[in-house]
Structure formats: structure tokens, C-alpha cells
Amino acid sequence: MKRLIFISVLAITLFSISCTKDTGGNADMSTVDFIVQSSDWVEYGTAGEPGFGYAVDLDFPEITNNVIENGMVTLYMKIGESWTSVPFNYFYSDYQGGYFYSMKFNTLSIDYYESDHQTLNPGTQIFRLVIVQPR
């Protein structure tokens, strides 16, 4: 009987400890809308060969080491009146294309490619960056 009471008290204690509620929040979120102009894209690789595409590196001091190690960064691009998450791929009958991104301290990089290795400059695009900064 003592063993059953001990197990019950232990279970209640563990459940009470694991169910604490934090109403203060533990992160700050910021949203930045920005435009990448056609002239901002930099060609890389050799046309007609694998690895050919366009990229842009953007300064974002909001991307701190704390964000990289403990937070979250999400990128969206505006297509028509809708926001679509990146990476974003589209398919034509004989090839595909897409956008993807990476980040490092203070920098967001966006790449664009087409699988036929004849990638055209993606032109002016509107993006939204959402950054979750842990406290």
C-alpha cells in the first residue's frame, strides 16, 4: 500500500512540474518585407552547365547568432496577391525552376535556378522575411 501511495504522489508531482504555463512568452518575432530588383541578382556558374543560376546576398543584422542557434527564419515570396513559402519550386513540361535560401550571421542568401541550366534572371521579386528571436 505504501508503494502505491508513493507512486501516486510521484506521478502527481511529476505531472505538476511538467505542466507549468509561461504566459510571458519567450521570443520576439519581426517581419521584414523587401524587394529584390532585377539588377540585384548576380549570375553564378556557366550557362548551359549544372550549377548555373542567380543569387543575391542581403545584409540582415536581425539574423544574429542567437537566431541561427536558437531561433527561426522563414522566407516567403509574393506571387500575385498571395505569399508562398520558400523553398518554392515550379514545373514546366520539360524542366523545373525554383527559389531557395540560406542564412549566416547578418546575411540572407536567396538563389534561383532552372533545371535546364539556361536560367534567366528572375527579375524584380517581393519577399517577406519572418525572424523569431529567442529572448
User: For position 5, what pLDDT does the model report?
Assistant: 46
Segments forming the whole domain that contains residue 119: 26-134
Q: Is residue 1 part of a domain?
A: no
Burial class (CB within 10 angstroms; exposed 0-12, middle 13-18, buried 19+) of 23: exposed
Give per-residue pLDDT as tens, 54-97: 999 999 999 999 999 999 999 999 999 999 999 999 888 888 99
The answer to whether position 57 is within a domain reads: yes
State pTM to two decimals. 0.77
Report how many domains make up the chain: 1
Asked whether residue 19 is domain-assigned, the answer is: no
Q: Is residue 65 part of a domain?
A: yes
Residues contacting residue 16 through CB under 8 Å, at least 6 positions apart: none
Is 13 inside any structural domain?
no
Q: Is residue 5 part of a domain?
A: no
